Structure 1
Amino acid sequence: MKIKAAVTHNIGEDFKIEEVELSNIKENEVLVKIVAVGVCHTDAVAWQAGISPFPIVLGHEGSGIVEKIGSNVRAVLPGDHVVLSYSSCRECANCLSGHPSTCIRFADLNFRGKMEDGSTRLSQNNHPISTFFGQSSFGTYAIANEKNIVKVEKDIDLALLGPLGCGIQTGSGTVLNKLRPGFGSTIAIFGCGAVGLSAVMAAKIAGCKSIIAIDINDERLNLASEIGATYILNGSKEDVVNEITMLTNGGVDFALETTGVPNVVKKSITALRPHGKCAVVGVTPETTLDINDMVSKSKTLIGVIEGDAIPQLFIPELIAYYKDGRFPFDKLVKYYHFEEINQAFEDSKEGLTIKPILRIN
């Protein structure tokens, strides 16, 4: 079938809304009419750094309505509302032990540009176009394996839900699924983008006593305070580590680093109290760490992908928290028309918009 999609033909080139061919679904796949899709930092990295083959249709935070299902699909029916998330094999030891975000085939299934069976579903003038995260949701329609589809309730604006599939799941899941701070504990969250602010809300849900948000943008810090941060620090104006140490009488129990900036990564570890734990979720250049500090104070550093979440379980939890008024992630978003995709990426890069969402249909 002919669809409209945002195609990028070479690294860093502007997205162009073009007609492409979407092939038929296979037995374990689902055809989804995309309603909206979030713009994520991972899309920007793929676009600018070429981590997937070009030409490509990016987009991996899609939400939409099931139009058609393959003969073996059991998870959804036509007409169901769904969120699309990352791909995993669901067969390796990590997947089977409840950690599909560390699937042995994660890079292969999400970044190599092909579906699980090694083929593509998108083409233009008989030339294949790469798929991203097994979905490529920067289009009017997308095909995905039922394993990376999450059925959601119909009593909530479907256009809002796409970012739950990656960025918002990453921040909140890293807190609730991986760090698991105890009631009354302390946490510092470095970076107040969509991931960091999602973590602030999750820390409040977890019952953290002190939630310290760090950024260099005062508007984002004010929003962090509005949604749950108990202290805010501007990293361009304050000695962050010293302030955290004084606020917590020795350092935080937990830290979450979202920026990927080497110097900030170091600060997030230094700000821990002895026996503290830091999770890093941002792609970070080669960084020199103070291993002696970590060893002598029994600090833990972990990397986390996709919030260590099982999307089919975790995304409905986040929606329930949202409906309860405890996870107001709608405060992070701004909507754009599909044709404004290049502007949405630019606004995200410049920090003007925390979480852009493109309305497709």
Structure 2
Amino acid sequence: MSTRKMSAALSHGPDSPFALETVEIEEPRADEILVRIVATGLCHTDLFTKSALPKKLGPCVFGHEGAGIVEAVGSSITHIFEGDHVLLSYRSCGACRQCRSGHRAYCERSHRLNSSGARTDGSAPITQNGTPIRSAFFGQSSFAQYAITTADNTVVVDPAVDLTVVAPLGCGFQTGGGAVLNTLRPEPDSTFVVFGAGSVGFAALLAARAVGVSTLVAVDPVPERRKLAEEFGAVVVDPGSDDVVAAVRDATDGGSTHSLDTTGIGAVVNQGVTSLRGRGTLVVVGLGVHDLTVNMADIMLNGKTIRGCVEGDSDIATFIPQLVDLYTAGQFPIDRLVTPYAFADINRAVTDQAAGKVIKPVLFW
């Protein structure tokens, strides 16, 4: 199999910074697509996985919010063509019970397709001096100048759309927007509260605003994020100084009908549950606490619901174009959430995101 050289941001372990190095990527197989990456969002999932994998596994290429231009397609690809502008997202098999029922985000082969560090046959599309590199992350590993993808995780978009802005629709913005539009589905007279106004939380807030939800609330400790949330029409709550439950109940006339937790922090999840109105729903999308103690009497007697949500419960083939349309119509202003960084500045982007200086870093070549 022939290869081409490229630069990629390699992770050499949980405690080391990313390093831009030269690697080789294979040309696409019959069922694969080669994409020249223009931009890639930096997602918490990239950093969480980086921190969780032991150094002994060797270098890895992460990145799963890629956006770029198709460079080459395999012989069995029929609806994606060289030159297409595309967004990359998660893989799904299309054949399991979850996929067949329209719930591709819960694909029964998800781990093998997205998190194994290789193709399904065990081979690596990226090597360095002949040595396989853990890659194929979310079927793309887009912290690189090129990515090998497949038809099931590649979505064609209008070439007029700025790929640097829409790249995070592959995961973060999709997760927040989908949690609202696909899972919670609030009505205009609903009340919506987001706990944690990072990129996922802001995407959710903008989605709720796009469908006309009358009352929006954002709970976040960072003053700059609260200020931006106010500009988007939300009531803001500072968890460092406010009684969160009381403040949410006051802002929502007795409790929220729909809430989203992006933090994965047990105490915050409990604030979300407690501040729900009767028959209200809290969706959780943050990975953090493994065990949670909740007031079952409050949940049962008040008919409250807690449910998880992966990738916004979305089918990327239809939902990503829906979000792109909302953005181009001016109803989903995600451009105000994005800060671009050259790929050479990836470690500064990581630092700035951790410090709360930016909402969504997007790396570009």
- Hey, what does 1:50 align to over in structure 2? 53
Identical aligned residues as a percent: 44
Query: 1:255 Cα deviation (Å)?
Result: 0.7
Structure 1 runs not aligned, ≥5 long: none
CA distance in 1, matches of 2:191, 2:265: 22
Q: How does 1:290-329 map to 2 (within 5 A)?
A: 290-329=295-334
Comparing 130-139 with 241-250, which one deviates more in the overlay?
Answer: 241-250
The correspondence for 2:239, drawn from 224, 235, 238, is: 235
Structure 2 runs not aligned, ≥5 long: none
Q: How does 1:230-269 map to 2 (within 5 A)?
A: 231-269=235-273
The residue type paired with residue 23 of structure 1 is E
The residue type paired with residue 163 of structure 1 is P
2:13 matches 1:10: yes
Query: 1:38 Cα deviation (Å)?
Result: 0.5
Query: 1:118 Cα deviation (Å)?
Result: 3.0
Would the alpha carbon gap of residues 66 and 283 (structure 1) be closer, same or farther in structure 2, given more than 3 Å must change?
same
Comparing 2-11 with 55-64, which one deviates more in the overlay?
Answer: 2-11
Cα deviation digits, residues 229-260 of structure 1 (max 9, x gap): 2x111111101101111222321111100011
Instruction: Give the secondary structure class of the aligned counterpart of 2:27.
Output: coil
Query: 1:5 Cα deviation (Å)?
Result: 0.4
Cα deviation digits, residues 20-53 of structure 1 (max 9, x gap): 1111211111000000111001011011122895
Query: 1:92·1:104 contact (CA, 8 Å) conserved in 2?
Result: yes
- Hey, what does 2:113 align to over in structure 1? 109
CA distance in 1, matches of 2:272, 2:311: 20
- Hey, what does 1:150 align to over in structure 2? 155
Query: 2:217·2:251 contact (CA, 8 Å) conserved in 1?
Result: no
2:45 matches 1:29: no
Structure 1 ranges of 4+ moved more than 3 A: 51-54
The residue type paired with residue 70 of structure 2 is V
The residue type paired with residue 11 of structure 1 is P
The correspondence for 2:173, drawn from 154, 168, 175, is: 168
Query: 1:75 Cα deviation (Å)?
Result: 2.6
Instruction: Give the secondary structure class of the aligned counterpart of 2:132.
Output: strand
CA distance in 1, matches of 2:320, 2:96: 22
Query: 2:188·2:211 contact (CA, 8 Å) conserved in 1?
Result: yes
Cα deviation digits, residues 318-339 of structure 1 (max 9, x gap): 1111111110000011111111
Q: TM-score, normalised by structure 1?
A: 0.97
CA distance in 2, matches of 1:329, 1:170: 13
CA distance in 1, matches of 2:333, 2:54: 32
- Hey, what does 1:224 align to over in structure 2? 229
Instruction: Give the secondary structure class of the aligned counterpart of 1:143.
Output: strand
Query: 1:201·1:228 contact (CA, 8 Å) conserved in 2?
Result: no
Give the CA RMSD over aligned residues. 1.3
Query: 2:38·2:163 contact (CA, 8 Å) conserved in 1?
Result: yes
Give the length in aligned residue pairs. Answer: 359
Q: How does 1:325-336 map to 2 (within 5 A)?
A: 325-336=330-341
The correspondence for 2:85, drawn from 61, 65, 81, is: 81
- Hey, what does 1:136 align to over in structure 2? 141
Would the alpha carbon gap of residues 61 and 51 (structure 1) be closer, same or farther in structure 2, given more than 3 Å must change?
farther
